[in-house]
Amino acid sequence: MAEKSLYHYRIEPQDVDFTLRATLASLGGSILNTAGVDAYGKGFGVDVLNAGNHSWVLSRMAIEIDRRPEQYTDYTIATWISDYGRVLSTRNFTLTDAAGHEFGRSVTQWAMIDLTTRSAVDLSWVGREHNDAVVAVPPPAEKPRKIREVKPTRSTEHRVVYSDIDFNRHVNTMRYIEMMLDMLPLERLTLEVPVRLDIHFLKECRYGQTLTVGCEEREQSVLFEITGDGATAAVRASLEWRA
């Protein structure tokens, strides 16, 4: 039976903000890096998929962080796949400190696309060929929520540049998160309380597009919506403080 895979990290100076604690984006980056490394090691990474003109894309993601670890802190990310579907695969993560205390968790859902048509393809074959990679452990948190409607009270524009795009030639997940967090005042961003981020990708944003990043602030949460070139929503997200 498959078991969780463990990967070890350290909070480096480039991972922290002025409070010398890890940013949500840097922790999210480590989570997604873990997904890529683990898929590669198990034989269904982007290297294998690219050979067949396919690639993995993140469809939805939920991250819960109870506390932000300090600079030079060592931590471990455990990851496992809990299910494969025809359209989405669920990959899970827990983050624990050097003393073994869990301080974060994440649930991600992935689709596979055809790199020519940019449309989703049936990934059932991955489940059949790599069923031994499934771990019989449920997700450590509620699966990513759908954000159905956002009514922005303010917005800003961002032109997609070289440093925004990833190996799939669309905007990197962490850049979306940074764009959204940059809309918030410092006092909200540096609150030392548990947070949950849900992010839902609806369509790709690519190099050269002008994005509109809007936010709707509420008492204990903020909703975000990103649109490309004035079109329909490309990304929606929710950030909730759990004081």
- Asked if 140 and 55 sit in the same domain, the reply is yes
* Residue 127 sits in the same domain as residue 8: yes
Residues 122-178 pLDDT 10s: 877 766 776 778 898 999 999 999 898 899 999 999 999 999 998 888 899 999 999
The dihedral over CA atoms of 148, 154, 159, 164, expressed in degrees to the nearest 10, equals -60
* The last residue of a domain, from among 113, 129, 144: 144
Residue 1 has pLDDT above 90, yes or no: no
Q: Are residues 133 and 150 in the same domain?
A: no
CATH label of the domain that carries residue 54: 3.10.129.10
Q: Do residue 70 and residue 165 come from a single domain? A: no
Q: What does DSSP say about strands 195-201 and 54-65: parallel, antiparallel, or unpaired?
A: antiparallel
Mark whether 4 and 124 lie in a shared domain: yes
Q: What is the pTM of this model?
A: 0.91
Indicate if 99 and 184 belong to the same structural domain. no
Sheet holding 5-10, edge to edge: 5-10, 74-84, 89-97, 102-114, 54-65, 195-201, 233-241, 221-228, 210-217, 154-159
Q: Is 159 found in the same domain as 132?
A: no
Claim to verify: residue 170 and residue 89 sit in the same structural domain: no
Give yes or no: residues 80 and 167 share one domain.
Answer: no
Domain with 172 in it: 145-243
Are residues 200 and 128 both part of a single domain? no
Q: What is the pLDDT of residues 43-85, one digit of tens each?
A: 777 777 777 777 888 999 999 999 999 999 999 999 999 988 8
Distance CA 134, CA 80 (A): 7
Mean pLDDT value of segment 23-49: 88
What are the Cα distances from residue 4, in Å, to 50, 70, 77, 81, 167? 26, 25, 10, 8, 26
Count of domains observed in the chain:
2
